[in-house]
Amino acid sequence: MPSPPYSDDQPAGLVAKDSAGDNAAALSVSEISALLKRTVEDRFGFVRVRGELSGVKRAASGHVYMALKDENARLDAVMWRGTTQRLAFQPEDGLEVIATGKLTTYPGRSNYQMVVERMEVAGEGALLALLAKTKARLEAEGLFDPARKRRLPFLPGTIGVVTSPTGAVIRDILHRLADRFPSRVLVWPVLVQGQGAAEQVAAAVRGFSALPPDGPVPRPDVVIVARGGGSIEDLWAFNEEAVVRAIAASTIPVISAVGHETDTTLADFAADLRAPTPTAAAELAVPVREELRAQLGELGLRQRRAATRPLQLGRERLAVRAERLPAPHELVAPHAQRLDELAERLRRGLGERTHVARAELQKVAGRLSLPLLSARLARARDRLEALARLALSLDPDRVLQRGYVRVTGSDGRTLVSRVAAAREAALLLHFRDGELAAVPAGEAPRRASPRVKPPPPEQGKLL
């Protein structure tokens, strides 16, 4: 490195001047910053740094700003939006990672930073630490509260399955459902491992919940989120916060069947029911059809027994009570004896009454004779004829045959004086051949044609 073209014993001047033999012009700040940037990037164009994340911030643009630190130093870092979209996990403070990228400078603040192009968790221990931290945070929000768990439908009409369409998991589920209770299955194909798997699984769970009940695509009654076994890294998508929140917010009951029986993910805690394997999830989703048939047969038999049991008990009680009843002839015998007694009394009573009546008739018959009865009948006939002649002579209309007229008022009373006739508004004159209306003042009669009263019939003889 060449020595500087000045010495400490040379006094500084007021105005900068070129020294003798100096052929290098002064550099601007931008120029020296650019030189430093090229030097750093050429020297550290590819580095892998292990450290703990600190101050993680996601900008509105999608870029992530952070720092990598250990106990002695700190290195600022940035991850552009395109790189963050390929991350298999969400960066969080305190997470130990291994970042791969390059160093560069930032002239705006006269510092250097690392541009991260790839980031991985630094070992399984760090991954477990991140898992525990995420679980504690989500559990504090109540996403794993047992009170939020819902009961599964007894017999779902449609079962939604979120899994890979090409793996053995979907074949195992379909085979098990066919054995137990054939059901309609709606598969939402997703990645179950690697970049983008968490986003696809979360979108599938939300998509099933968004289906309308009466839409063209049947809405599942239960959803199975399934994946085969693997390492913690293989199953990491089901530990992602996006998947956990989607399962917790699902409006459809969810069965989590991720990994083998010993594998546990955060999706298991958020689901309404955890199945140890995907095959077990199918068993939990539907009952066994043959067992249902047997149970229905047993219930039908019990129903028939319950229906006929009262009848059987009634017959038994009736038989017991019938045995305690006396014989029919014993029940009728007293009444038959009573009937015989009454019949005998009736016969005797009728005979006695006839005898008494005959004696009374003979006593009265002695006072009766035909001449006596004839005399009484003749006297009665004479009396009736006299009464008939008297009634005929007293008939007021009988004298009309000899030219007389009978005058009656409006109420039908016979008028016998001129004063009474003058007080009437209308008079009715009775002649032997009919009636004639008249008025006392000589006015024309108001009635219609006179009523003609037929002559009374001649009084005949009664006897």
pLDDT higher than 80, residue 170 = yes
**Token reading at 296:** 């229905």
Q: What pLDDT is attached to residue 36?
A: 85
Query: What are the backbone angles phi and psi of residue 18, rounded to the nearest 5°?
Result: -70, 135
- Averaged pLDDT, 297-305: 88
Measured between alpha carbons, how far is 79 from 102 in angstroms, rounded to an integer?
A: 11
* Overall size of the chain counted in residues: 463
Fold assignment, 29-121: OB fold (Dihydrolipoamide Acetyltransferase, E2P) (2.40.50)
Q: Which amino acid is at 285?
A: A
Using one digit for the tens of pLDDT, what is the confidence trace for 313-364?
Answer: 888 888 888 888 777 777 788 888 888 888 888 888 888 888 888 888 877 7
Q: Is 186 in contact with 169 (CB distance < 8 Å)?
A: no
Q: What pLDDT is attached to residue 444?
A: 45
- Averaged pLDDT, 56-62: 89
Handedness of CA 299, 301, 304, 305 (dihedral sign): negative
Q: What pLDDT is attached to residue 461?
A: 46
Q: Which residue has the tokens 């491992």?
A: 193
SS3 track for 420-438: HHHCCCCEEEEECCEEEEE
Instruction: Name the residue among 63, 103, 68 with its Cα closest to residue 85.
Output: 63
Question: In the beta sheet, which residues pair with residue 257?
Answer: 226
Out of 90-94, 132-136, 308-312, pick the least confident. 90-94
Q: What pLDDT is attached to residue 443?
A: 47
Q: Is 143 in contact with 245 (CB distance < 8 Å)?
A: yes
pLDDT higher than 70, residue 199 = yes
- The more confidently predicted of residues 420 and 459 is 420
| High-pLDDT (> 90) share of the chain, % | 29
Q: Is 247 in contact with 256 (CB distance < 8 Å)?
A: yes
Measured between alpha carbons, how far is 252 from 210 in angstroms, rounded to an integer?
A: 10
pLDDT higher than 60, residue 187 = yes
Q: What pLDDT is attached to residue 340?
A: 86
Q: What pLDDT is attached to residue 278?
A: 93
Q: Which residue has the tokens 């009940």?
A: 213
Query: Domains of the chain: which residue ranges?
Result: 29-121, 146-287, 396-463
Q: Is 101 in contact with 118 (CB distance < 8 Å)?
A: yes
Domain 146-287 annotated CATH 3.40.50.10550: yes
Measured between alpha carbons, how far is 267 from 245 in angstroms, rounded to an integer?
A: 9
Out of 9-13, 167-171, 354-358, pick the least confident. 9-13
Measured between alpha carbons, how far is 226 from 278 in angstroms, rounded to an integer?
A: 6
The DSSP result for 121-144, as a single string, is ESHHHHHHHHHHHHHHHHHHTTTT
pLDDT band at 11 (very low <50, low <70, confident <90, very high): low
Measured between alpha carbons, how far is 122 from 70 in angstroms, rounded to an integer?
A: 13
Handedness of CA 116, 201, 150, 284 (dihedral sign): negative
- Averaged pLDDT, 197-224: 94
Measured between alpha carbons, how far is 173 from 163 in angstroms, rounded to an integer?
A: 10
pLDDT higher than 90, residue 159 = yes
Q: Is 92 in contact with 54 (CB distance < 8 Å)?
A: no
- Averaged pLDDT, 217-236: 90
The helix or strand, by DSSP H or E, that contains position 34, with its residue range, turns out to be helix 29-43
Q: How many CA atoms lie within 13 A of 178 on its CB side?
A: 6
Using one digit for the tens of pLDDT, what is the confidence trace for 372-420?
Answer: 778 888 888 889 888 888 887 777 777 777 778 888 988 888 888 888 8
pLDDT higher than 60, residue 34 = yes
Q: What pLDDT is attached to residue 366?
A: 66
Q: What pLDDT is attached to residue 172?
A: 93
Own/partner pairs, 78-86, CB within 8 angstroms, 24+ separation: 78/113, 78/114, 78/115, 78/116, 79/115, 79/116, 79/117, 79/119, 80/115, 83/116, 83/117, 83/118, 84/58, 86/195
pLDDT band at 18 (very low <50, low <70, confident <90, very high): low
Q: Is 273 in contact with 284 (CB distance < 8 Å)?
A: yes
pLDDT higher than 50, residue 202 = yes
Instruction: Name the residue among 89, 154, 151, 145 with its Cα closest to residue 120.
Output: 89
Using one digit for the tens of pLDDT, what is the confidence trace for 96-153?
Answer: 888 999 998 887 777 888 999 988 887 777 778 888 888 999 999 999 999 999 999 9
pLDDT averaged over the chain? 84
pLDDT higher than 60, residue 450 = no
Q: What pLDDT is attached to residue 17?
A: 65
pLDDT higher than 70, residue 24 = no
